Amino acid sequence: MRFGFVAPPFGRLWSDVQTLLDRAVTKGGNEWDDVEEALSDGYAQLWLAVTDKPQAAMVTKLDGTTLEVWLAGGAVLSGCVPFLETTLTAAREAGATDARIIGRKGWARVLAPYGWRTAGDELVKDLA
């Protein structure tokens, strides 16, 4: 499996991305137009785990010095979690000092070995 950042335009990948992230977008109360705009404007970043086609997708936002994992879907545990450090390294290089995930309480146990901890309703990690 390959994992990496995908820059817009997304072309043929967009329908796969929508399929992978539809549940996260809907459950989070987001609108697809807002997601697409944030990605196109560079405010958000798309990361994909791919074999012969996309298996998992993750959308992050860099807000000041905080990287937020905004959306994730598909085979996230096998497709994104093992490669999350790649995303965190890119965030560090862009000046991030911490990371957070909101609304994924079930991930606390899975991400604890990677240095994530629970802080209220968020999972957080110090990147310094």
Q: From first to last of its 128 residues, what are the pLDDT tens digits of the chain? A: 899 999 999 999 999 999 999 999 999 999 999 999 999 999 999 999 999 999 999 999 999 999 999 999 999 888 888 899 999 999 999 999 999 998 777 889 999 999 999 999 899 999 98
Reference 61, options 99, 106, 30; nearest CA is: 99
Q: What is the phi-psi region of residue 17: left when phi exceeds 0, alpha when psi lies from -120 to 50, beta otherwise?
A: alpha
Q: Supply the pLDDT for residue 77.
A: 83
| Dist. CA 20–CA 71, nearest whole Å | 10
Please tell me the pTM assigned to this model. 0.93
Taking each helix axis as running N to C, give the angle between helix 13-27 and helix 32-40, from 0 to 180 degrees, rounded to the nearest 10: 120
Q: Supply the pLDDT for residue 103.
A: 73
Q: What is the CA radius of gyration of the chain?
A: 14
The domains located in the chain, with CATH, are 2-126 (3.40.630.30)
Q: Supply the pLDDT for residue 45.
A: 97
Torsion sign (Cα): 98, 102, 104, 106:
positive
- Tokens at 74, concatenated: 């598909």
